[in-house]
Amino acid sequence: MDRQRFSVTTPIYYINDRPHVGTAYTTIAADVLARYWRQRLGKGKVFFLTGTDEHGAKIERRAKSEGKAPKDFADEVAAVYEQTWTIMNISFDDFIRTTEPRHKKVVVKLVTELQSATTPKGNLAIYEGHYTGLYCVGHEAFMKDSDLADGLCPDHKTKPETVTEKNWFFRLSDYNETLQALIEAGEFTVAPETRKNEILGYIAQGLEDVAITRPNVAWGIPVPFDKKQTIYVWVDALMNYVSALGGPGGAKYKKFWPADVHLIGKDITKFHCLIWPALLLALKLPLPKMVFAHGFFTVNGQKMSKSLGNAVDPLTLVETYGNDALRYSLLRDIAFGTDGDFSEDRLKERYSSDLANGLGNLVSRVTNMVEKYADGKFTRRAKETPAEFTKAMDILRFDEALRVIWNHVDAANKTIDDRAPWTMAKEGKIKESKNEELKNLLNELANTVLDVNDLLAPFLPESSAKISAAFKKPVKKAEPLFPRLT
Ligand code: MSP
């Protein structure tokens, strides 16, 4: 895929609680993409955005239950997010918080512009109306009876509140045909295919108008033209993707908007694939090129989430297994786009089989033999990138990309077992041609490891840096990359 620059985002996370493996999953995937494109395009050509979603009833209530002012509470948890991603070696370029003045300024400007915007059918894009119905505070979303399972929100297992309120509405119902045409033509890509079909299904049923303001939520950005209301937290949040770039018109916006990929979980597709593009159309701004929705991490089949009490703290796993092993296991075990059960046993298994015995063993054997039998020398040839790897990365199939890499790792280990370089070294004392054969083999192996290392770098940045260091000439036997677990 040819690109001049690359821009990737994660959802901005709610700060009602700390990060867990589910939120880390999206962030790690975005990090892999950002590193991959930095490697291909060079510095300054990639923009990787993450951040925190801090307004709305859910946060307001959570702060209250902690006996804290919402902003103080937000400051604390937003800092935990930023620290967690830093410890996890996430290479974000910007961290946007919706309570920052730079964000609020852009949101107010865009919402003001919506007032005079018109829809493709020539109607005013927003109007005043009333809503009576269900609201799930966990989702910060208006819901219908048909969204519930046994009267409860299927994700939060709570009963939604019934609210009657006066809101400003956005005329989403005027965008059915326009959105359908853009998605079908691939001008606005919704991936994977299952999610695209789901979204086209919603459009076929006919989209309904959506509230964009809330009258009874104090913790939010005041509506510029109706000070008794605040901007609905989802509209506020979606606009982070452009507010972080300084809003339309600025230099950063010109360079990095539209985003190449909004990475999200499958729980928030309606917001990203329907409401967000329609708002952008109303504002006459370009749409993101792609929204990619991955699946859920489940624990015994249930979505991992703080509210269900089955969340796993990524930092606990990082302490035991390291950042790279967590990244590897999350991305290798589940095809990006589908659901998968999380299990620490699986992570442990991957750690010892693929990482310690596979990659770690290969690097230590090759560096050891290059040091011992080739005076630490080898000749680097031009690097090779397998076409299947590039293809997998283009469609965000990280599991496939890793499988391609590990085919090379396994093949190289097998070559060592089959050809037994140590025997060649012994025979070389008697037969000179064996020395030549050994040198060529080690050269081949060193090059394979460095080719593999190049592909690995976005996935396992810490191990990759160690491998590069170990192959600085003269090569010396590398320290174990993945020490035995205690
Ligand atoms: N604040 C909104 C997003 C606003 S974006 C403009 C939100 N936040 S969230 O904290 O609930 O995070 C949601 C995202 O976290 C999901 O879309 C997904 O990317 C990730 N995940 C949260 N739980 C997850 C799993 N159990 N499994 C996989 N991803 C999960 O929604």
pLDDT > 80? residue 255: yes
Atom of ligand 1 lying closest to residue 263 CA: 19
* 97 CA distance to ligand 1 middle (Å): 16
Read off the pLDDT band of 79 (50, 70, 90): very high
Strand ranges (E), 234-295: 261-265, 290-294
Q: What pLDDT is attached to residue 38?
A: 98
Helices of type H across 457-473: 461-470
Substitution candidate for ligand 1 out of 26, 59, 240, 307 with most atoms within 8 A of CB: 26
Evaluate if residue 17 carries a pLDDT over 90: no
- For 39, phi then psi, to 5°, come to -60, -40
Q: pLDDT (tens digit, 9 = 90+) per residue, 138-160?
A: 999 999 999 999 999 988 889 99
Alpha-carbon span 417 to 343, nearest angstrom: 32
Is the pLDDT reported for residue 307 higher than 80?
no
- Tell me what pLDDT residue 486 has: 78
User: Quick check: 361 pLDDT over 90?
Assistant: yes
> First and final CA of the chain: distance in angstroms?
43
Mean pLDDT of 270-292: 98
Question: Amino acid identity of 434?
Answer: K
User: What pLDDT is stored for residue 332 in this prediction?
Assistant: 95
- Interval 175-234: pLDDT, tens: 999 999 999 999 999 999 999 999 999 999 999 999 999 999 999 999 999 999 999 999
User: Has residue 302 got a pLDDT over 90?
Assistant: no
Mean per-residue pLDDT, 310-325: 94
Mutation choice for ligand 1 from 13, 50, 333, CB with most ligand atoms inside 8 A: 13
Closest C-alpha among 123, 37, 50, 129 to residue 84: 50
Name the pLDDT band for 12 (thresholds 50, 70, 90): very high
Q: Which of 76-80, 284-288, 426-430, 464-468 has the lowest mean pLDDT?
A: 426-430
Alpha carbon of 246 to ligand 1 centroid (Å): 24
pLDDT in tens, 53-69: 999 999 999 999 999 99
d(CA 87, CA 100): 23
Pocket test for ligand 1, best of 9, 25, 308 (most atoms within 8 A of CB): 25
Quote the DSSP letter at residue 118.
B
Structural tokens at position 220: 């939010």
Tell whether ligand 1 has an atom less than 6 A from the beta carbon of residue 291. no
Q: How far is CA 340 from CA 203, 392, 447, in A?
A: 28, 19, 35
pLDDT tier for residue 298 given thresholds of 50, 70 and 90? confident
Q: Which atom of ligand 1 is nearest to the CA of 304?
A: 26
Check if the beta carbon of residue 117 is closer than 8 Å to that of residue 125: yes
State whether the beta carbon of 236 lies less than 6 angstroms from ligand 1: no
Q: Which of residues 339 and 302 earns the better pLDDT score?
A: 339
CA–CA gap between residue 221 and residue 215 (Å, rounded): 12
Residue with tokens 């967000």: 276
Please give the radius of gyration of the chain, using alpha carbons only, rounded to the nearest integer: 26
Contact 314 CB / ligand 1 (< 6 Å): no
Residue nearest ligand 1's atom 18 by CA: 265
Q: What is the pLDDT of residue 306?
A: 75
Tell me, what DSSP letter sits at residue 378?
A: -
- Is the CB of 265 inside a 6 Å radius of any atom of ligand 1? yes
Q: How far apart are CA 296 and CA 346, in angstroms?
A: 17
Confidence of residue 384 (pLDDT cuts 50, 70, 90): confident
pLDDT at residue number 116: 97
| CA distance readout (Å), 462 to 6, 286, 323, 418, 469 | 23, 37, 8, 30, 11
So what's the pLDDT on residue 341?
87
**266 C-alpha to center of ligand 1: Å?**
8
